[in-house]
Amino acid sequence: MRKPRVFVPELAPEIRLAGQEAHHLIHVLRVEPGREVLAFDGSGLEAAARVVKVEGGAVVLAVASPEPALREPPVAVVLHIALLKGDKLAGVVRAGSELGVSRFVLLVTERSVPREMGRTKLERLRRIAVEAAKQSGRARVPEVAEPLALAELSPVEFGLVAHPYTPTTINAINWPESGAVALASGPEGGFTEAEVEHLTGLGFAPVCLGPRILRAETAPLVLAAAAAALRCL
Ligand code: SAH
């Protein structure tokens, strides 16, 4: 069970919560003494906490020492993106890192124009990921993996492939609450039907991102944005 996140005005070793937050804990989440929660304040700190008492309309928490919040999404987002022409991947890695992607997997697909990526270009993408992670307040830097042929991908537990020719919209998706989500987006010329079938067989469900054709550098960010919006506080 995921630990409930509780907003507290200030992190102290013992906190007595009343009002709305307490009401939510008692009546919606039905917490009882012993239940573990995650307390966070507005300044980017969070701390493990345990319910010690529920009395009247109030909840008393014993709070461990605060640490900087990781600001990571509830699920690890692995974004598979086809090699793209020119410098387009730089923008995908920059914005994807801001959106909480934990790993970028570069794919060599049938219609990818570039067939490989040089060391210098890969190192640059990794530097961009570091910068974007810092700028957006993330403590974890996303990984940028070496390019991989689409045929070499392993099966995934939960995956989505951006495919314009499917009726399922991304808003209809039932996302998992934890674990990893694998997302995949194609090159300028699109995935071939055989590639979409192969990905589907690996566990990537086809989803469409609206009735327009998006650029190959836009679609992966729409996928990442949908995953980024799974949780705020
Ligand atoms: N020329 C291709 C389009 C490629 S767009 C064609 O007509 O099929 C590049 C990639 O962006 C696609 O492979 C797909 O993964 C994604 N994409 C673009 N628009 C999309 C949409 N509306 N819905 C889902 N995926 C989309």
Any bridge partners for residue 115, and if so which? Answer: none
DSSP string for residues in 28-69: IS---TT-EEEEE-TTSEEEEEEEEEEETTEEEEEE---EE-
Half-sphere exposure of 191 (CA within 13 A, CB side): 25
User: With contact defined as beta carbons under 8 Å apart, do 51 and 153 qualify?
Assistant: no
Atom nearest to 189 CA in ligand 1:
1
Q: Note the pTM of the prediction, 2 decimals.
A: 0.81
Q: Does ligand 1 lie within 6 Å of residue 222's CB atom?
A: no
pLDDT digits (tens, 9 = 90+) for 90-100: 999 999 999 99
**Domains 5-68 and 76-232 alike in fold:** no
Question: Chain-wide mean pLDDT for the chain?
Answer: 93
pLDDT band at 174 (very low <50, low <70, confident <90, very high): very high
Q: Does ligand 1 lie within 6 Å of residue 191's CB atom?
A: yes
pLDDT digits (tens, 9 = 90+) for 142-173: 999 999 999 999 999 999 999 999 999 999 99
Instruction: For residues 179-184, give the mean pLDDT.
Output: 97
Q: Which fold has domain 5-68?
A: Ribosomal Protein L25; Chain P (2.40.240)
DSSP string for residues in 192-224: -HHHHHHHHHHTEEEEB-SSSPPPTTTHHHHHH
Q: Does ligand 1 lie within 6 Å of residue 189's CB atom?
A: yes
Name which of 109, 226, 105 is nearest 175 in CA terms.
226
Task: Please report, for the chain, the start and end positions of each structural domain, with discontinuous segments joined by +.
Answer: 5-68, 76-232
Atom nearest to 210 CA in ligand 1:
22
CATH class of 76-232: alpha beta
Q: Does ligand 1 lie within 6 Å of residue 199's CB atom?
A: no
